[in-house]
Amino acid sequence: MFSKIIKDFFLKKIVSKKLLSYDLKLPTDKIISVGVIVDDKFFKEIEFLKTEIEHFGIAKENIKILVYKNITNKKEVDEGLFLTLKDVKINGEISKKEINDFISYPFDLLINYYEGNNPVLVLLSKTSKSSFKVGFVSVDKRVNDFIVDLHLNQYKEFVAELFKYLKILKKL
């Protein structure tokens, strides 16, 4: 418990330093690859979200989803890519190779599908090499390039609104 508080404190310091270097980037190319960071604590319909993104013309193999789990169950079998607080070191480094590969992949679009300012999720978002980041209004404004003002459970509306504006920006 105490180590979690210490780790959380240091992660917040690291994130606040990363947020100082904010610059708005607009994607220059069409959006082909999409990365999604999801907080499992607040949103469970991950496959529905993926299907909804596919509905707007993104190929299934070009969508990668990273799930942050607050608590993991040993009996639970995860087929996808996931991260816990244990996978993040006190200095902000990630110990899982798969997570580092996800962060370093240059997605055309990164969807930050979480609310609040969880330091682990903000750290993942800020260190990601994606060219365009989208998220919710409840997250710090310096994390995302484009913000949608909806609730997490409104995933159909979120994806529809996002792709509506991507079409206006001629990115699809």
The per-residue pLDDT for range 101-114, each reduced to its tens digit, is: 999 999 999 999 99
pLDDT at 4: 75
Q: How far apart are CA 144 and CA 153, in angstroms?
A: 19
More confident of the two residues 105 and 91: 105
Task: List, for residues 24-66, the tens digit of each pLDDT value.
Answer: 566 567 899 999 999 998 898 899 999 999 999 999 999 999 9
- Per domain, the residue ranges of the chain are 2-168
The whole-chain average pLDDT of the chain stands at 86
Residue 133: pLDDT over 80: yes
d(CA 172, CA 162): 11
Using CA atoms, how far residue 62 sits from 12, 27, 51, 58, 92, in Å, is 31, 17, 12, 7, 27
> 78: pLDDT confidence band, cut at 50, 70 and 90?
low
Fold classification of 2-168 is Rossmann fold (3.40.50)
